[in-house]
Amino acid sequence: MIEELIAWARMECLPAAQRLGLRREAAALAVRHRRLRAQWADHIAQTRAALLASARRAAALPDAPRRAWIMGAGLLQDVPLRELLDLFETIDLVDVCFGPAARAAARRHRGRVRCARQDVSGVLEDLSRDPQRASPPMPADAWCASVNLLSQLPLLPCAALLNSGEAEAAVERYGTAIQQAHIDALSRVPHACLIVEYAQTRATAPDEVLLPGLQDRLFSAGWASGSRWHWPLNPEGEADEPSGRAMQAWWRSGDAGR
């Protein structure tokens, strides 16, 4: 509890995101990263390797982007910043909340690494906005990466709508629209990487797909599938029934991903 309070105090967060509880979520995640360092080590290594593989593909092309735009990077836990600095001139870490590590990296690499505070859904300030219109464009001259963010995007906006009495079916459609708008925006830039939790795993039950139909939508939008791994999100001792996430990386680079 105290650890979370300290982590919360050290976070910098967009006011609209904080109102919905994202600062608290980011602080809780920072504490879990520390507590579960050993159990999550492979997931972190896999995420970094997938990002690097996609970035290297983009950097090897004749029209290689010189800039990186990495969304969901506010904690800087799963971003291989040192290696990416060898591939790109500038790196934007994009998030609604930033912890001390990301801010220190921006100070250390002043002019090359930036903390870009942006709500990538565009709806946090006003939940009545249409997600497709609200979603901000991503920079077409950058390699754009979305890091373990897609399933998080609708959670707190949808919780707020449910609390305000909106009907469940409408809220579910709204959450799906937020995710679709994010994928559409990412599919419009030439060089991209998407890392997603696509299913919930339990030892005693079949996997539950979290993003139904995503695979077909990505293939038809020209994405290629990359590595897959398992993230023991709630390992033994953390929850009554341990559960995890089936993870998958996707990429597209110029015409190579089509």
One of 55, 153, 158, 177 touching ligand SAM (CB under 6 A) = 153
| DSSP symbol at 37 | H
Stretch in the footprint of ligand SAM (CB under 6 A) among 70-78, 101-109, 166-174, 200-208: 70-78
Q: Token digits for 108?
A: 């250390």
Q: Does 72 bind ligand SAM (CB under 6 A)?
A: yes
Instruction: Tell the smallest beta-carbon distance from residue 8 to ligand SAM (Å).
Output: 13
Kindly tell me which of 32 and 256 has the beta carbon lying closer to ligand SAM. Answer: 32
- SS3 of 200-211: the string is EEECCEEEEECC
Residue position matching structure tokens 């939940």: 127
For residues 48 and 214, give the distance between their C-alpha atoms in angstroms, rounded to a whole number. 22
DSSP state letter for 240: S
Closest to ligand SAM by CB, 92 or 119:
119
Interface region with ligand SAM, contact rule CB under 6 A, candidates 55-63, 89-97, 101-109, 219-227:
89-97
Question: For residues 148 and 200, which CB has a smaller minimum distance to ligand SAM in the complex?
Answer: 148
Burial (CB < 10 A; 0-12, 13-18, 19+), residue 38, is exposed
Q: Which stretch binds ligand SAM (CB under 6 A): 48-56, 60-68, 93-101, 220-228?
A: 93-101
26 binds ligand SAM (CB under 6 A): yes
**Between 6 and 60, whose beta carbon lies closer to ligand SAM?**
6
Distance CA 103, CA 76 (A): 9
Amino acid at 249: A
d(CA 112, CA 84): 11
In the bound state, the residue with its beta carbon closest to ligand SAM is: 77
Number of Cα atoms under 13 Å in the Cβ half of residue 12: 14
Under the criterion CB under 6 A, does residue 149 sit at the interface with ligand SAM? yes
Strands 113-117 and 224-234, bridge-based pairing: unpaired
What tokens does 71 get? 């969304």
Among the listed ranges 67-75, 133-141, 163-171, 237-245, the one in contact with ligand SAM (CB under 6 A) is 67-75
Annotate 67-93 with three-state secondary structure. EEEEECCCCCCCCCHHHHHCCCCEEEE
User: Up-side HSE of residue 40: CA atoms within 13 Å toward CB?
Assistant: 19
Q: Of these, 7, 51, 68, 75, which contacts ligand SAM (CB under 6 A)?
A: 75
Give the nearer residue to ligand SAM in terms of CB position, either 235 or 254.
Answer: 235
Q: How many residues bind ligand SAM (CB under 6 A)?
A: 21
Pattern 106-125, ligand SAM, x by CB under 6 A: -------------xxx--x-
Pick from 31, 46, 58, 74: which binds ligand SAM (CB under 6 A)? 74
Tokens of 8: 């919360």
Which positions lie near ligand SAM, rule CB under 6 A? Answer: 22, 26, 29, 72-75, 77-78, 95-97, 119-121, 124, 147-149, 152-153
